[in-house]
Structure 1
Amino acid sequence: MSLAPTVQRFLEGQHVAYRMLHHTYAETMMSSAMAAQLPARKVAKGVVLKDEEGFVMAMVPSDRMADLEAINHSMNRLLEPASQQDVNILFSDCKQGAVPSLGQAYNMPVIWDDALAEEDDCYFECGDHMDLLRLDKSSFAHLMAAYPHGRISH
């Protein structure tokens, strides 16, 4: 598997051009960036959060930590990290731990960090531990235009 079927259907439905980048096996987004020889700031990681209203995907550069206080303030919610069991169920078409940060493909609200829009291109986990999805700046902007954003990482 290289591209999760849900992600592939979503990208095709959005008519977004993308490229795939294969790398050696890596468990974390930071190690994926290193394996792919990319600056970690260009590789987005998805952090799945949850509250009584449901799930939210926070997308931040892989070299940063999600700022839960900033996210909760921005979204006016009391989110906390989702359990691994929840994540496995939500992303059942992905390898365990290989969570695509394009939460909207899984009908999940998304909030993203402004630092990602400063890059010429952005890379995402796409469902396994050996491939990254590359979007150029305009494709990223198209996919993220409807979602809240801000400085949500440190």
Structure 2
Amino acid sequence: MGIALTMQEYLEDNHVPYEVAKHNKTGSSAMTAQVSHVPGASLAKGVVLKWDGSYLLAVVPATRHVDLGKVGRIVGERVQLASEEEASALFPDCDTGAVPIFGAPYRVACVIDDGLERHGDVYFEGGDHRTLVHVSGDGFNRLMYGMPHGHISD
């Protein structure tokens, strides 16, 4: 499949240069980092949460887990994990379980972990379990401009 069309258009519309690399199929972002020889703290993953009758995309380093309490304090309400079926319905051009890190092009609210803003390079799955996308830290920050952020992982 490669990079999802929605993500590709979002990158190009924002004039953010990116590189795409293939890797062996993996079942988790931590495994993707390992097989791709990428630092896990530089690999961003998206986690879909239920929030205020809708959904919220929490973006954290692959080496971390979303802290629901911390996210709830940022958004001002309780949040909970969405099911894989709910997440898949939000991102129809992505494989099941391959949650993108961009909420804006899918019209999903987004919150970013501060840990991702410290890296010179950021990597993320491209919409399937075999494609890794690389952007500069500046490019990542530009793509996430205006999104709320905070320490949302443990």
TM range, normalised to the smaller chain?
A: over 0.9
Question: Which residue of structure 2 aligns with residue 130 of structure 1?
Answer: 130
TM-score for the superposition, normalised by structure 2:
0.96
Write out per-residue CA displacement over residues 98-133 of structure 1, whole angstroms, 9 at most, x where no aligned residue: 111112221111101111011111011111111111
Report deviation, 1:10.
1.4
Matches within 5 A, 1:1-154: 1-154=1-154
**Backbone CA RMSD of aligned residues:** 1.0
Which whole-Å CA distance do the structure 1 matches of 2:137 and 2:115 have between them? 12
Report the more deviating stretch, 26-35 or 11-20: 11-20
What amino acid maps onto 2:4 in structure 1? Answer: A
Report deviation, 1:53.
3.3
Asked if 1 retains the 8 angstrom alpha-carbon contact of 2:3 and 2:126, the reply is yes
Which whole-Å CA distance do the structure 1 matches of 2:27 and 2:105 have between them? 22
- The count of residues paired between Structure 1 and Structure 2 equals 154
Which whole-Å CA distance do the structure 2 matches of 1:53 and 1:14 have between them? 29
Report the more deviating stretch, 32-41 or 5-14: 5-14
Runs of 4 or more consecutive aligned structure 1 residues displaced over 3 Å after TM superposition: none
Which whole-Å CA distance do the structure 2 matches of 1:104 and 1:78 have between them? 21
Which whole-Å CA distance do the structure 1 matches of 2:83 and 2:24 have between them? 27
Equivalent pairs: percent with the same residue?
A: 36
TM-score for the superposition, normalised by structure 1:
0.96
Task: Sort the Cα spacing of 1:52 and 1:114 in 2 relative to 1 into closer, same or farther, 3 A.
Answer: closer
